[in-house]
């Protein structure tokens, strides 16, 4: 299910491009989000279409991750509010992943 996505990202998979195809319903509607705080992380992965959801604490966040302030969006276990900003969140993640791909190609 969608719960494998944060693990893939944390393991260094830079090929992700959001939104992703949902393994449950087949819609291209899966989003991914992280929050880093004091060296610890949390992840959210969810499908806007069928509501498959995964939220878990993690040992850190991917090396490319940068927190984004989201005024008016509460980071609750269920990503209802995140989903309303999904387009903005996807753009942030895709931008970070693109930068990480570019810098890994340089080295």
Residues in 48-67 that interact with Zn ion by CB under 5 A: 49-50, 52
**Per the omega criterion (within 30 degrees of 0), is the bond before 19 cis?**
yes
Based on the shown chain and the rule CB under 5 A, indicate whether residue 21 belongs to the binding site for Zn ion.
Answer: no
Structure tokens at 81: 């509010």
Identify whether the C-beta of residue 100 lies closer than 8 Å to the C-beta of residue 92: no
Contact 49, 27 (CB under 8 A): yes
Q: Which one, 2 or 14, has the nearer CB to Zn ion?
A: 2
The residue among 52 and 86 lying less far from Zn ion, judged by its C-beta, is 52
Reading the block at residue 16, the tokens are 């992700």
Examine residue 47 and tell whether it contacts Zn ion (CB under 5 A): yes
Sole binder of Zn ion in the list 7, 16, 25, 58 (CB under 5 A): 25
Binding stretches for Zn ion (CB under 5 A): 22, 24-25, 47, 49-50, 52
């Amino acid at each position: 299910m969608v719960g494998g996505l944060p693990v893939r990202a944390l393991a260094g998979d830079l090929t992700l491009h959001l939104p992703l195809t949902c393994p449950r319903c087949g819609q291209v509607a899966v989003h991914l989000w992280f929050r880093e705080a004091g060296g610890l992380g949390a992840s959210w992965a969810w499908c806007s279409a069928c509501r498959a959801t995964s939220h878990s604490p993690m040992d850190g966040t991917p090396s490319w991750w940068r927190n984004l302030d989201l005024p008016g969006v509460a980071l609750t276990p269920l990503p209802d509010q995140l989903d309303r900003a999904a387009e903005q969140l996807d753009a942030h993640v895709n931008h970070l992943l693109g930068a990480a791909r570019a810098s890994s190609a340089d080295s």
